[in-house]
Amino acid sequence: MATQTWFITGSSRGFGRALTVAALEAGDQVAATARRPEQLDDLVRQYGDRILPLALDVTDRAAAVTALDATAARFGRIDVVVNNAGYANLAPVETTPEDDFRRQFDTNFWGVYNVSTAAIPLLKTQGAGTIVQFSSIGGRVGGTPGLGSYQAAKFAVDGLTRVLATETGPLGIRYLVVEPSGFATDWAGPSMQVPDVAPEYAATVGAMARGLDLPAFTAGDPKRAGEILVRVVKSGNLPSHLLLGVDAVEMAQSYSRSQLAESAAWAAVSRSADVSQEYPVELPNEEQR
Q: Which residues form the catalytic set?
A: 135, 150, 154
Opening angle at CA 83, ends 82 and 87, nearest 5: 140
**176 close to 133: Cβ distance less than 8 angstroms:** yes
Kindly report the pTM of this predicted structure: 0.95
Question: 3-state class of 129 per DSSP?
Answer: strand
CATH classification number, 5-244, choose in 3.50.50.60, 3.40.1710.10, 3.30.1360.40, 3.40.50.720: 3.40.50.720
Edge-first strand listing for the sheet containing 129-134: 51-55, 29-34, 5-8, 80-83, 129-134, 173-180, 241-244
The CA distance from 284 to 132, in Å, is: 41
pLDDT along the chain (289 residues), means of 10: 93 96 98 96 98 98 98 98 96 97 98 98 98 97 97 98 98 98 84 92 96 87 97 96 97 98 97 98 76
Q: Residue 286 has what pLDDT?
A: 60
**CA distance linking residue 121 with residue 115, whole number of Å:** 11
